[in-house]
Each structure stands twice: as C-alpha cells, then as structure tokens.
Amino acid sequence: MLRRSLWSSVVWLVVATLVAGAPAFARENLPAPGEVTLAELPREAAETLALIKRGGPFPFHKDGIVFQNRERRLQPRARGYYTEYTVRTPGHADRGARRIIAGRGDTGSPATSGEYYYTDDHYETFRRIRE
C-alpha cells in the first residue's frame, strides 16, 4: 500500500511539472505561420482586408469581435490583442470557415497594424498576409 501511494505521488508530481511547464514550452516551440501574398488570397479576402483598414462597415455582426486564440495557433497575446473578421465564402449563406485575424501590432489598431493572418479552415491553420 505504501509503495502504491509513493508511486502515485511521483506520477502526480511528474504530471504537475509537465503541465506547469506546458505553456512556456508551447510558446517557445510555436511554429511561425506560413505566409501568403495579398495577390494569392481569394478576392473576398482582399475585400475584407480593405474593410478592416477602413474601419468598416462590416457585413457580419460578429466582425471585429475578440479572437481568443483558443487553438493557440498564433503567438499568445493579452486578451483583446486579436480581432476576427469574416471572409465571405461564395455559395454559403452563413459565415463559413474563412477569416482574417488582425493583431493590434505597434499601432494598437487592427486598421493600421499591418499584422493580418488568413485562415480558410476555421482556425486550424494560419498564414500571415504579406502585402
């Protein structure tokens, strides 16, 4: 019984150590998103990016909401750093899977930051938009 209790304690200690170190490890080893040029994006993405830079108006009521980065595919930042915008998908009546995520960058504004990411698979992968 004592051996089982000791073994259980050691296992929990190892698990707790790994979990506590996971966020730092994930940040250090987070792969950089690939890049995509504006010319390589669908026309609808270029239109959405132009709307972001103008400050709207946006066609979907959820455009401009905080992107929480739950999937941790982008660099961890303070809540509110990233905002998301819908890229229309022809033939879809709903928002579809395509988005542009805008960071606040050095300017503090998604409209002028120059930090934009495109996803066409609902946050599974991101590519940084190179203008």
Single out the residue of 48, 59, 67 nearest to residue 123, CA to CA. Answer: 67
Q: Are 96 and 86 in contact (CB under 8 A)?
A: yes
User: Annotated catalytic residue: which of 71, 84, 92, 131?
Assistant: 84
β-bridge partners, 102: 83, 116
Q: Is 84 a catalytic residue?
A: yes
Q: Is 61 a catalytic residue?
A: no
User: Annotated catalytic residue: which of 40, 92, 122, 124?
Assistant: 122
- Determine the Cα–Cα distance for residues 98 and 89; give it in Å rounded to an integer: 7
In the chain, DSSP finds a helix count (H) and a strand count (E) of 2, 6
Active site residues: 84, 122
